[in-house]
Amino acid sequence: MKLVQIDNWRDYRRDGEQFLRTAQGAYNKKKKTFSTDTLYNLTCMAIEKLIMAFLMKNGDLAENHTMGDLLRALQLHLGAIPELADKLLYMNDFQEICSLEHFTIRIPSEEDVIRFLAIGEEVRAVLYPHLYEAQSGATH
């Protein structure tokens, strides 16, 4: 059964790429206006947008937008991805903001930011062939 693409998936792909470039650029230039938690949030937004673009292209959506939920939805299409799974779950542990009873935020260190950016790049690399592959008969 072929699922129908959700039309604006390319917007999510573009936004994900832009969030990731912004986070990487701010980190590389040591911009003081971008704190470690801001870089965490930008990288999470990049990952979320890229995964959502992939899911939408495949006619699917994640149940929620936590790293854990995005991972589960991603694995339904890609199968087991244990290395990436561990990395996304690591990122998931920095903010638990969906429930007022279990609200926690952990401020990342600079070493964490380096790791986040690498995870963002890995997500992009894993999804790149799926998000940029030529589509027969499709308009871009």
Partners of residue 105 on adjacent β-strands: 95
Distance between CA atoms of residues 28 and 16, nearest Å: 18
pLDDT for res 140 = 40
Distance between CA atoms of residues 55 and 70, nearest Å: 9
Distance between CA atoms of residues 25 and 85, nearest Å: 25
Distance between CA atoms of residues 91 and 69, nearest Å: 12
Per-residue confidence in pLDDT tens, the chain, 140 aa? 456 788 899 999 999 999 999 999 999 999 999 999 999 999 999 999 999 999 999 999 998 888 999 999 999 999 999 999 999 999 988 877 555 677 677 899 999 999 999 999 999 999 999 999 865 334 44
Residue 140 belongs to some domain of the structure: no
Residue 4 belongs to some domain of the structure: no
pLDDT for res 99 = 59
Distance between CA atoms of residues 90 and 123, nearest Å: 14
Residue 78 belongs to some domain of the structure: yes
CATH code of the domain containing 121: 1.20.120.330
Q: What is the DSSP letter of 102?
A: T
Range of the domain at 56: 9-132
Number of domains the chain is built from: 1
Residue 113 belongs to some domain of the structure: yes
Residue 36 belongs to some domain of the structure: yes
Residue 1 belongs to some domain of the structure: no
